[in-house]
Chains A and B, each alone.
Chain A
Amino acid sequence: AQSVTQLGSHVSVSEGALVLLRCNYSSSVPPYLFWYVQYPNQGLQLLLKYTSAATLVKGINGFEAEFKKSETSFHLTKPSAHMSDAAEYFCAVSPDSLIQGAQKLVFGQGTRLTINP
């Protein structure tokens, strides 16, 4: 069964510093991987997605993630943190292929990102 592990439930960085949020997946088939962000008291917003095209995926708000099959990883990065990046970030895998069509997601535990001034 597909699963996602996010290393670090809390990450704290200084404003302007590099953001690195780690995500490792387990999948028996080529996965579809996603990063979502959840701001306080809000729903989930899609940051970016990997769907077997380019391994380096660029998303919104300056975030990007690199798919590394050899490491089964899909870490999220941003070169320079901004105060507005403070939120909860979720990595997710879609256990079903597009052929089947179902898009139910399996989520990681989430990482709370804090930005220090």
Chain B
Amino acid sequence: SAVISQKPSRDICQRGTSLTIQCQVDSQVTMMFWYRQQPGQSLTLIATANQGSEATYESGFVIDKFPISRPNLTFSTLTVSNLSPEDSSIYLCSGGELGRNTQYFGPGTRLTVL
């Protein structure tokens, strides 16, 4: 199984600033995803991180607000831009192998926006 780590584990940010979250996988995975979990809510997919190309965003999420990079098969970053209190959530990354049916999750990054 893949082990996924995220940095930072939590952060408190001011309104209008940005936060970049890093996701590192201990083995090569084909698919990487970013999810948001708002307080007391379930997980919602933000985007699929594609290696070497632009991420694929779900409805309601845009690149200007959530730019994503994936320079290789084991690393991805998510930036949450122009922060507002509504962005306070847990952000989780996940990874899985193409054609396999198991997806592993990182521990999440808890973001609080003041």
Residues of chain A touching chain B, judged by Cβ–Cβ distance below 8 Å, are 32, 34, 36, 41-46, 49, 51, 90, 94, 98, 101-110
Contacts of A49 in B (CB 8 A): 101-102
How far, in angstroms, from A80 to B38 measured CA to CA in the complex? 31
> Are A102 and B31 in contact (CB-based, < 8 A)?
yes
Contacts of A51 in B (CB 8 A): 101
> Are B42 and A103 in contact (CB-based, < 8 A)?
no
Contacts of A44 in B (CB 8 A): 43, 92, 94, 105
Known: A43-B105, A94-B101, A98-B99. A105 touches B42 (CB 8 A): no
Partner of B107, one of A32, A43, A103, A104: A43
How far, in angstroms, from A106 to B30 measured CA to CA in the complex? 19
Contacts of A106 in B (CB 8 A): 45
> Are A101 and B30 in contact (CB-based, < 8 A)?
yes
Contacts of B45 in A (CB 8 A): 104-106
How far, in angstroms, from A104 to B33 measured CA to CA in the complex? 7
CB neighbors of A among B93-114 (8 A)? 94, 96, 98-108, 110
Chain A, Cβ-Cβ closest to B6: A43
How far, in angstroms, from A104 to B32 measured CA to CA in the complex? 9
> Are B107 and A107 in contact (CB-based, < 8 A)?
no
Partner of A42, one of B31, B94, B107: B107
Known: A43-B108, A104-B45, A109-B42. A32 touches B30 (CB 8 A): no
**25 residue pairs bridging A and B, Cβ less than 8 Å apart:** A32-B101, A41-B110, A42-B108, A43-B4, A43-B107, A44-B43, A44-B92, A44-B94, A46-B102, A49-B102, A51-B101, A90-B43, A101-B30, A101-B98, A102-B31, A103-B31, A103-B101, A104-B33, A105-B43, A105-B94, A106-B45, A107-B42, A107-B44, A109-B41, A110-B41
